[in-house]
Chains A and B, each alone.
Chain A
Amino acid sequence: MQRDLRIAINRDGKIEYFGVPEEKTTLLNALYYIKNNSDNSLTFSSSCRSGVCGTCAVRVNGKEVLACSYNFKEDDRIEPLAYHEVQRDLKVNKQKVRETLKKSTAWLQSHQEAIIGEKEVQLTEKQSECILCDSCYSSCPVLEVNPDFMGPFALTRAYRYSADPREGDIKATIDTIQTNGIWDCTLCGNCTEVCPQGIDPKMDITLLRSIASQFGYSDPNFQAMDFGFGGGF
């Protein structure tokens, strides 16, 4: 016999419980089941149902997932993404977070003609699979202390264009990601862990740091720790 599973949804700070038939495998199907049958006012965002539009990311038991790509379990606790303004229930304002893409100037600064081979494409194959679901941003502990931090996806995207042979002015990007950018990351790896596309923003940020050092930049935190002994410990 069909059995109902119970899930808990954080609705504007209040936990509400809903029963969903077990067969509604994905969390997104479960949310639609609730909205279509028991509570029309349950509010969440979704679009493609196949993990490529980036719309339906939420937190389940504290960890970011795409609702369309996660099979829910009994007593799962569903919450909206962190560090986003919650508009209602699980629906969040992504517009403000998208501003980080402008801050990191994640685009080709100056197009130059270049020979691109299979190897060059592979360099940024993963990074260009980003779907802008904001999972990494929600998982990033730096935002707890510095809300102006550009965050993982904006930096991964900056790397994706910096590593493109068509980029004729890498320095322009490197210059813009100094403040509230690459050096603010603690390399904790939360972003890498939650990315549904298997992207590794932590590694991309590390690579950007290495490019930045070629342009004469260094870790300001490291400088701050230099108490006049010339660094070097």
Chain B
Amino acid sequence: MLDILIIGSGGAGLSSALTAKESGATVLVVGKSYPTASQTSMAQGGINASLGNVTPDSTQAHIDDTIKSAHQLCDKSMVKKLCEDAPKSITWLEKLGVPFDRTPNNQVAQRQLGGASSKRACYAQDYTGLKILHTLYDNALKEGIEMIEEHFLLNLITEDQLVLGATFLDIISGEIKEIRAKTTIIATGGYAGLYKGFTTNSEGATGDGIASVLRAGGKISDMEFVQFHPTALKSSSTLISESARGEGGYLVNSKNERFVDELLPRDVVARAISLQVANGEEVFLDLRHLGEEKLLHLMPQEVRLCRLYENVDPIKELVPIKPVAHYSMGGIDVNRKLEVTGLKNCYAIGECSNAKIHGANRLGGNSLLEIISMGREAGRNAVRCTSSQQTNNSDTQQLQQDQAYIESLFEEYPWERNFYQIQYELGHKFYKYAGIVRDNTQLNNLLNELRVIKADLDNMGIGDKNRTNNTNLVEFLQFQNSLEIGEVLLDSALVRDESRGAHYKEAFPNKDDKLYKVNSLYWIEDEVLQNKLVKVVE
């Protein structure tokens, strides 16, 4: 039997696969797209490690910055673990062949990102995620790691909370399959994609793994915390990396006035921009003073994106921007070993997990670090887990159930309502009402609307009735996942009557540690969504 099933083939999944394989375990990586198409490729700015190659730095300073930005919602021991491991993660990546930029002294170059007290982010121009991901992929090929593409996760197979594997839709053939393993690692990415049209994320960031845990009876947490990146291109929502400000770029309004310290954490800068927009101002990123040579050398991708998607040349012109949904801090609730709360033999890593590292607001450069560091950690832990609890269960109930459901989509669903249109409308409403500044009445209205949409799913379905290569089917399944996730996001945002990090309510503008220094936990019991506020682990 397969030792470790890894669902998701981005940076987190590949890091855990390489590490588990090193220990002799059999691993299989299954993803809905090709590994190199994952969200990791879009990470631009850098990966944090307190190497101190450019300015003095220390592990403690990295820990302090991360905790400060998390606004007390983190588990300090997890933050410590991550920051202490960071230099080792860089060494590991260097050994695999990642081409990090260098200082004149031949050391790994580091740049400033927001909320950091030192130049801490190691980078490869503004293609850091791309180059890390492709190097991991090349190494996975080298090590003969089996990777299966175009398999869409449907459900976890469980018996008394023990995870036995998962069911998948083989997108190419249209078959529903099960893959069983002694241990399962979920590395399926975040859910900022539900802000459709107002997100830097790819089409597939629909929280598939998180929704599967919820349906399997596991717990998810802190879903109200979604980070808005201050600088996305105004017309296309394309990400312009924080390194643009780290290297000295300004934010200015229509009067050409700077209105915020550009290097404050993302939540603060996003709110400052939002306030300008509310006051009728347009907001721009000004990179002109950095000069052509520096821009083309350090940010070739940003220059290309500005020209292509906004039709402006950042070397000579102001770049119109807006803040959009970028990263989900909440996700599958895990313990310090990265095991999923409420399930057994199951781990979650990367953006889909809530390892209590980023808390209420993630620092730039910590997400790439998390996928590498925690990816490797889960790989090590999962190897130990494969020798523990086992079962010989061969019941195919989940498989049959999923086959029957997919069949019904082909046979019974009428396709009376166009879900694509609803998805776009919902994305816009999430941005407006569950975005940077929130209000209970609006959140409540949106939650009611979302529940009506959920109840109306029977009138939607798929227009494409071909069994093979059916991307219409995949997109409908993703839409359903984002509805399940969206419901929890809105409910948890309603419950939290305070402002903390990325979650901001005008009516409750301050932090309320007495009531809300808590993680908000959600799970399904007897088919009903349950929740509980749990004091943060000290």
Residues of A within 8 A of B (CB): 35-37, 39-41, 43-55, 69, 87-88, 91, 93-95, 98, 101-102, 105-108, 111, 115-118, 120-121, 124-125, 128-132, 157, 161, 164, 166
Contacts and interface: CB of A to CB of B under 8 A. Distances in A.
B37 A54 contact: yes
B37 A35 contact: no
B512 to A, nearest CB: 38
B255 interface: no
Interface residues of B, number: 56
Nearest to A105: B142
B305 A40 contact: no
B471 interface: yes
A37 B472 CA distance: 12
A106 B463 contact: no
20 contacts: A36-B420, A37-B418, A40-B463, A41-B472, A43-B469, A43-B470, A47-B203, A50-B309, A51-B305, A53-B36, A53-B38, A87-B468, A117-B106, A118-B103, A121-B100, A128-B99, A128-B134, A130-B134, A166-B95, A166-B97
B101 to A, nearest CB: 6
Given A50-B238, A54-B41, 19 more contacts: A37-B418, A40-B463, A43-B464, A47-B203, A48-B39, A49-B202, A51-B308, A52-B42, A88-B469, A91-B471, A101-B138, A106-B141, A107-B139, A116-B106, A121-B100, A130-B134, A132-B34, A166-B95, A166-B97
A43 B33 CA distance: 14
Contacts of A164: 97, 99
A108 B308 contact: no
A203 B162 CA distance: 54
Contact of B41 (A48, A87, A93, A111): A48
B104 A95 contact: no
B96 interface: yes
Interface stretch (B122-130, B446-454, B497-505): B122-130
B36 A118 contact: no
A125 B99 contact: yes
Given A47-B203, A49-B236, A131-B41, A41 B301 contact: no
A201 B158 CA distance: 48
A111 B94 CA distance: 10
Interface in B24-53: 33-34, 36-39, 41-42
Nearest to A40: B463
A35 to B, nearest CB: 7
B421 interface: yes
B174 to A, nearest CB: 11
B36 A132 contact: yes
A18 B400 CA distance: 39
A47 B139 contact: no
B34 A94 contact: yes
A7 B238 CA distance: 25
A23 to B, nearest CB: 10
Interface string B377-418: 000000000000000000000000000000000000000001
Contacts of A48: 37, 39, 41-42, 202
A47 B101 contact: no
A110 B236 CA distance: 43
A179 B34 CA distance: 27
B265 interface: no
B530 interface: no
B293 to A, nearest CB: 14
A166 B38 CA distance: 27
A53 B469 contact: no
A224 B104 CA distance: 48
B466 A47 contact: no
Nearest to B423: A36
B494 interface: no
B304 interface: yes
The 7 A-B residue pairs whose C-beta atoms are closest, nearest first, are A40-B463, A36-B420, A41-B464, A107-B142, A88-B469, A53-B37, A107-B138
